[in-house]
């Protein structure tokens, strides 16, 4: 999988850290403030959208009175404690990051989450030192499934897209990586278990977790 690869780019939620479960809880609590229930299928409607795109969607779809920035600030505050104390790394991630650094494979993060949260979670887990580039979908024109963020990270890392390997847990992210001309490894995640077969179909590879690379760690 790592043959002819000069850079590895991670999605954050569900790929690098086990955090996808948080957002349904936050959506329920947040909408509850306005006397609204979480509608069925909402997660599928916002999948892959950037943090800002999701805030715009919520404001328009639920006719929220708050400005976009306040919506995002509220979400950040609600998620901060959970990301700091309840979100673990995917199994084997630390060993995989150490292997990549030892073998001079560049590392980047391409996330639809907010910069505040991604910087917080990698600091909590002491893995900031491994990454040369962190970008959010708010910094590019289009969120996933468009390839913009993956192409932008590859450009920052100064690596050709064809020599990048992407780790993603949802269909929109896998599509974004493939559209960028990169190889993509789908990551098992409880949140996207109903998409498992579609993920396997779209991606070049599939892993349960990063301990599948354990022969490289010895």
- Whether the pLDDT of residue 102 is over 90: the answer is yes
Per-residue H/E/C for the chain = CCCCCCEEEECCECCCECCHHHHHHHHHHHHHCCCCCCCCCHHHHHCCCCHHHHHHHHHHHCCCCCCHHHHHHHHHHHHHHHHHHCCCECCCHHHHHHHHHHCCCEEEEEECCCHHHHHHHHHHCCCHHHCCEEEEHHHCCCCCCCCHHHHHHHHHHCCCHHHEEEEECCHHHHHHHHHCCCEEEEECCHHHHHHHHHHHHHCCEEECCHHHHHHHHC
Q: Quote the pLDDT of residue 23.
A: 86
For position 25, what pLDDT does the model report?
87
Q: Which tens digit of pLDDT belongs to each residue from 30-75? A: 999 999 999 988 988 898 788 999 999 999 999 999 999 999 999 9
pLDDT digits (tens, 9 = 90+) for 112-162: 999 989 999 999 999 999 999 999 999 999 999 999 999 999 999 999 999
Q: What is the pTM of this model?
A: 0.86
Q: What is the mean predicted confidence (pLDDT) over 154-172?
A: 97
Average pLDDT on 182-200 reads 94
At residue 21, the pLDDT reads: 84
């Amino acid at each position: 999988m790592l043959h002819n690869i000069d850079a590895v780019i991670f999605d954050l939620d569900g790929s690098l850290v086990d955090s996808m479960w948080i957002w349904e809880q936050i959506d329920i609590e947040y909408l509850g403030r306005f006397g609204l229930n979480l509608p069925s299928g909402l997660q599928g409607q916002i999948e892959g959208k950037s943090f800002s795109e999701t805030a715009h969607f919520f404001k328009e779809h639920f006719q929220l009175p708050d400005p976009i920035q306040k919506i995002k600030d509220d979400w950040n505050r609600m998620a901060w404690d959970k990301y700091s104390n309840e979100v673990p790394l995917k199994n084997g991630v630390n060993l995989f990051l150490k292997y990549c650094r030892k073998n001079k494979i560049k590392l980047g993060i391409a996330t639809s989450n907010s910069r505040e949260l991604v910087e917080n979670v990698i600091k909590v887990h002491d893995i900031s030192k491994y990454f040369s580039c962190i970008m959010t979908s708010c910094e590019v024109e289009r969120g996933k499934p468009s390839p913009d963020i993956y192409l932008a990270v590859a450009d920052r890392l100064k690596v050709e897209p064809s020599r990048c390997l992407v780790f993603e847990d949802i269909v929109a992210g896998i599509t974004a990586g493939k559209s960028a001309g990169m190889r993509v490894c789908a990551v098992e995640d409880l949140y996207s278990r109903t998409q498992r077969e579609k993920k396997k179909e779209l991606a070049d590879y599939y892993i349960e977790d990063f301990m599948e690379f354990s022969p490289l760690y010895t």
